[in-house]
Structure 1
Amino acid sequence: NEISFPKKINFFEAKNCKKICDIDISRFNIENKRYTTLKRSLLIKFLLDKIPPEKVKNNVEVTGIEHGDKIKLSLSNNSTEEFDYIVVSDGIFSKTKSIILARDTSPKFFNSVALRGIIKNIDSNDISIYLGPNFHFVIYPVNQNNEFNFISIIRKKINNNEIFDQNIFENSVFLKSLCNEIYQKTSLNLENKLKNIKSFPVYVSEKFEDLNYKNIYFIGDALFTFPPSFAQGASQSIESGKEVFEEIQNKTDSFYEKRRLKVKKINWRSKLNHFAFHLSNPVLIFLRNLILKKLVYNKNFLDKYLGNIYRN
Structure 2
Amino acid sequence: MAGVGCKSAVSFSVLKRSFSLRGSPRSVLTGGRRSAQEGRLVARPFHPLRTHRHPAYVCFSCQDSMSETLRTCYAYLNQTSRSFAAVIQALDGELRHAVCIFYLVLRALDTVEDDMSIPLETKVPLLHDFHTFLYQPEWCFTESKEKDRQISVEFRNLGQEYRDVITDICHRMGVGMAEFLEKKVSSMMEWDKYCHYVAGLVGIGLSRLFSASQLEDPEVGRDTELANSMGLFLQKTNIIRDYLEDQQEGRAFWPQEVQTFNTALTPILMAFY
The TM-score normalised by the length of structure 1 is: 0.27
Q: Which protein has the larger Cα radius of gyration, Structure 1 or Structure 2? A: 1
Q: Which has the higher strand share?
A: 1
The TM-score normalised by the length of structure 2 is: 0.29
Q: Which has the higher helix share?
A: 2
